[in-house]
């Protein structure tokens, strides 16, 4: 597989262990919103490559990534030190299961995320196609602490403030953030809040229904499995691009 060497355009550290960065987008690099790509650093003969969701919508001229810093991690322990004009290895092919093509038509699209699992949804909620296919998009983000929500808050603000984006997000996009350690407006794990129905009550929504709802999941392995079981019990079925259905989750990595 071919690869590109792309310059870093910006770096933002959101917390001590969360950061985002933008790189140049090659002119012939195509991707679908929600996909991931392998990236790495050109610092050895055999560079360490890891799967990273592309946070940018597919129309953007830049590629943005959102990363956690893993202590002693073979890639992130070095990636955290990147600066503007450094080079990043970008593999030429993107892929992934969190794409609209893997879902049946529906009225509401629920995007459930924890931690850096918000990254692919950052792409999806800024893609006009999402709003063409669904009447309402509900994106949730659960973290331990309030400062870990800063990145998703920034993206959501952009959705509502940008002149072009707000033309399709207004009255369609709902953002719901919860914390599990800090006290905040909404506390608790999203799976618990679905089960005790406080999630629906908080947003004044009707319960998840497989007849007209679709769901995407991206988070920790336990979170993915727990939410998958909850959905299957409600009659949802897992989809793929060759057989679209009512929910998908990212299996390639844990965000």
CATH number at residue 196: 3.40.50.80
Residue closest to 31 by CA, chosen among 55, 3, 48, 4: 55
Mark whether 111 and 233 lie in a shared domain: yes
Here the CATH number for the domain that contains residue 85 is 2.40.30.10
18-24 and 36-40 beta bridge pairing: unpaired
Q: How many domains does the chain have?
A: 2
Mark whether 181 and 82 lie in a shared domain: no
Mark whether 65 and 122 lie in a shared domain: no
Mark whether 108 and 86 lie in a shared domain: no
Predicted confidence (pLDDT) at residue 241 exceeds the cutoff of 60: yes
255 in a domain, yes or no?
no
Region of 115 (left: φ > 0; alpha: ψ -120 to 50; beta: rest) is: left
Element (H, E) at 22: strand 18-24
Please state, in angstroms and rounded to a whole number, the distance separating the CA atoms of residues 33 and 111.
13
pLDDT tens digits, one per residue of 74-105: 999 999 999 999 999 999 999 999 999 999 99
Predicted confidence (pLDDT) at residue 154 exceeds the cutoff of 50: yes
154 in Cβ contact with 165 (< 8 Å): no
254 in a domain, yes or no?
no
DSSP state letters, 46-82:
S--EEEEE--S-TT-SEEEEEEEPPTT-TTHHHHTT-
Q: Of 91, 124, 156, which residue sits at a domain end?
A: 91
Q: What is the pLDDT of residue 255?
A: 35
Mark whether 220 and 123 lie in a shared domain: yes
Q: What is the pLDDT of residue 148?
A: 98
Which tokens go with 111? 């995007």
Task: Provide, rounded to the nearest whole percent, the portion of the chain with pLDDT above 90.
Answer: 92
Indicate the burial class of 136 (C-beta count within 10 angstroms; 0-12, 13-18, 19 or more). Answer: middle
Mark whether 158 and 241 lie in a shared domain: yes
Please state, in angstroms and rounded to a whole number, the distance separating the CA atoms of residues 81 and 83.
7
Residue closest to 230 by CA, chosen among 203, 198, 200, 190: 190
Q: Which domain holds residue 56?
A: 3-91
Q: What is the pLDDT of residue 253?
A: 57
């Amino acid at each position: 597989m071919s690869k590109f060497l792309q310059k870093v355009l910006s770096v933002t550290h959101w917390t001590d262990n969360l950061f985002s960065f933008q790189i140049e987008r090659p002119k012939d690099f195509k991707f679908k919103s929600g996909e991931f790509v392998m990236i790495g650093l050109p610092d050895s003969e055999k560079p360490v490559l890891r799967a990273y969701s592309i946070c940018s919508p597919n129309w953007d001229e830049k590629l943005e990534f959102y990363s956690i810093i893993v202590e002693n991690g073979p890639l992130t322990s070095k990636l955290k030190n990147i600066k503007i004009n450094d080079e990043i290895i970008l593999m030429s092919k993107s892929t992934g299961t969190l794409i609209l093509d893997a879902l049946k038509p529906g009225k509401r699209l629920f995007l459930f995320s924890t931690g850096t699992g918000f990254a692919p949804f950052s792409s999806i909620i800024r893609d006009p196609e999402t709003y063409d296919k669904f009447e309402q998009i509900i994106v949730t983000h659960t973290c331990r602490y309030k400062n870990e929500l800063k990145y998703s808050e920034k993206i959501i603000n952009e959705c509502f403030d940008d002149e072009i984006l707000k033309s399709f997000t207004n009255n369609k996009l709902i953002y719901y953030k919860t914390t599990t350690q800090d006290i905040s407006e909404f506390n608790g794990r999203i799976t618990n809040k679905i089960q005790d129905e406080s999630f629906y009550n908080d947003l004044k929504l009707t319960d998840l229904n497989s007849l007209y709802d679709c769901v995407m999941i991206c988070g920790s392995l336990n979170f993915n499995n727990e939410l998958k079981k909850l959905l299957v019990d409600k009659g949802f079925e897992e989809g793929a691009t060759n057989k679209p259905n009512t929910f998908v989750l990212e299996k390639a990595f844990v965000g």
